[in-house]
Structure 1
Amino acid sequence: MSKKKPFVLRLDPELLGAVEKWAADEFRSTNGQLEWLINKALKEAGRLKNKSKNEE
């Protein structure tokens, strides 16, 4: 498993509330939801290669 680098993220309270609700609806942590969203956006923009099952 790859190492994860911690960092501080400042969000508008309304935006954070929406992300927290979405995360709860999908049974994810807020951090997990943000990571999923960023990963998805990067893949859709062609900025991140899709990993094959063997690479994970």
Structure 2
Amino acid sequence: MASPGKKAYPLRIDPAVWDALVRLAATEMRSTNAQIEYLLREALARRGIRPGGEPPPELKD
């Protein structure tokens, strides 16, 4: 069951990438879904993008 307030999205993904995600999630004690969200947030942060529309630190007044 999806968490309240979260958007469900069907994702087509290469089986080898999926297997790597499952293994990584297990080693970091996360669900595969939580691991995907964690990695997406990490990738956005590296690009200076913050979910929710908050500007990156260098753009704040």
Band of TM-score, shorter chain: 0.7 to 0.9
Provide the identity percentage. Answer: 41
2:27 aligned residue (8, 25, 28) = 25
Aligned to 2:38: 36
TM-score scaled by length of structure 2: 0.73
Q: Looking at both structures, which has the greater relative contact order when contacts are Cα pairs under 8 Å and sequence separation is at least 6?
A: 1
Aligned to 2:18: 16
Q: Give RMSD over aligned pairs.
A: 1.7
State how far apart, in whole Å, the 1-side matches of 2:34 and 2:12 are: 16
Per-residue CA distance 1:28-52 (angstroms, 9 max, x = gap) = 00000000000011011011148xx
Greater radius of gyration (CA): 2
TM-score scaled by length of structure 1: 0.79
